[in-house]
Structure 1
Amino acid sequence: MDAALIAVAGTLLGVVFTHWFQGRATERTAALTRTEQLRQERIATYSAFAGAVVDYRHSQNDRWFRAFRQPGSQEAEDSRHASYRQRTAARQALFRVQLVCDDPRVRHLAEGAFVESHCIHEAVDEAERARRSEQAKEALAVFIAAAGPSLR
């Protein structure tokens, strides 16, 4: 009888430990899956933001050139409206960065890249436009350099 009780107790103990270890393994697997999904979401978000900012910077340069060469022309007006659409796309991409990024410094750098691109069309001459465009490009490069390590 004692042997039977020991066998039953051992079996029950084995079931409890197996259940506990399987629960922990399941939790670890779920945590790893969530981490990888967030990493993939950040890669997609940061890439989309970088692309949107590049497009916005390009449209701001185009806007400046068209307004500088032919102020008040239909081409200048069309370019202005195109830059508004690009600004909206870049701002939406910035919002996504703000939602998925938990590093305040990286969020701040993303905002800086957006703002630097926004100011290009206000340049008074070619040298200032070129300087502002380069600053926008550098601000985006700094954002990418800061965001990259969290994706590896």
Structure 2
Amino acid sequence: MSAVLGTLLAVAGALVGSLGTHLLQQRAAVRAEARARQELLRQERLAAYSGFAAAVTELKRAVVAGWLRRSDPVALEPALAEADRLGALAETARFRLLLVSGRPEPLADAAFARAGALRGAADRGELAAREREFEESVTAFIADAAARLATSDQPARR
């Protein structure tokens, strides 16, 4: 009888141990999956922030090129077509940024608007001033994005 009782206790102990191990592994797997999702989202945000900054900077370059060619109708038309194409790409990058961030992005909107405002410069001095404003707005956007990415690097508290 004591041999049977000993065997039952051993089997019960093995079952409890197996159950405990399973629960701990399941919990660790859930935490690992949550960390992986968080890292994936951070990578998506990083790609969206940097993609927008690159796209809006290319737009600025094209708008300035068009502005500099405004007195040459032959050179102006392709420059404006390029600026229009890059404007559409920058807007697409802005939409992606909004989808990934899940919130309004006023600094991105300001940078995008400043890129478009370059077209209205009256002379080279005003163009240079508007370019500085654009650079300041992109710098503010990047600083904000970097701060948000740094915050998302912090481990989730439980």
Once the two structures are superposed, residues 121-150 of structure 1 have per-residue CA deviations (whole angstroms, 9 ceiling, x without a partner) of 012222222221111111110000000123
User: Which of the residues 37, 53, 71 maps onto 1:50?
Assistant: 53
Q: Which residue of 1 aligns with 2:113?
A: 115
Alignment partners' CA distance in 1, 2:12 and 2:136: 68
1:13 equivalent to 2:16? Answer yes
Q: CA deviation at 1:74?
A: 1.6
Question: Match of 1:17, as an amino acid?
Answer: G
Q: Which residue of 1 aligns with 2:89?
A: 89
User: Which of the residues 41, 44, 61 maps onto 1:41?
Assistant: 44
Once the two structures are superposed, residues 57-114 of structure 1 have per-residue CA deviations (whole angstroms, 9 ceiling, x without a partner) of 11111111211xx16x12112211111011011111111111111454xx22112111
Between the aligned residues of both structures, percent identity stands at 37
Q: Which stretches in structure 2 are left out of the alignment for 5+ residues? A: 151-158
Question: Match of 1:141, as an amino acid?
Answer: T
Alignment partners' CA distance in 1, 2:20 and 2:110: 53
Q: Which residue of 1 aligns with 2:101?
A: 101
Alignment partners' CA distance in 1, 2:149 and 2:143: 11
Alignment partners' CA distance in 2, 1:96 and 1:19: 40
- Number of residues of Structure 1 aligned to a counterpart in Structure 2: 147
Secondary structure of the corresponding residue to residue 119 of structure 1: helix
Normalising by the residue count of structure 2, what TM-score does the alignment of the two structures yield? 0.85
Q: Which residue of 1 aligns with 2:126?
A: 128
Question: Match of 1:122, as an amino acid?
Answer: G
Q: For the aligned residues, what is the CA RMSD?
A: 1.6
1:53-92 matches, cutoff 5 A: 53-67=56-70, 70=71, 73-92=73-92
Alignment partners' CA distance in 2, 1:121 and 1:30: 48
User: Which of the residues 25, 30, 34 maps onto 2:28?
Assistant: 25
List structure 1 segments (4+ residues) > 4 angstroms apart after TM superposition. none
Q: Which stretches in structure 1 are left out of the alignment for 5+ residues? A: none
Alignment partners' CA distance in 2, 1:17 and 1:102: 39
Alignment partners' CA distance in 1, 2:18 and 2:68: 75
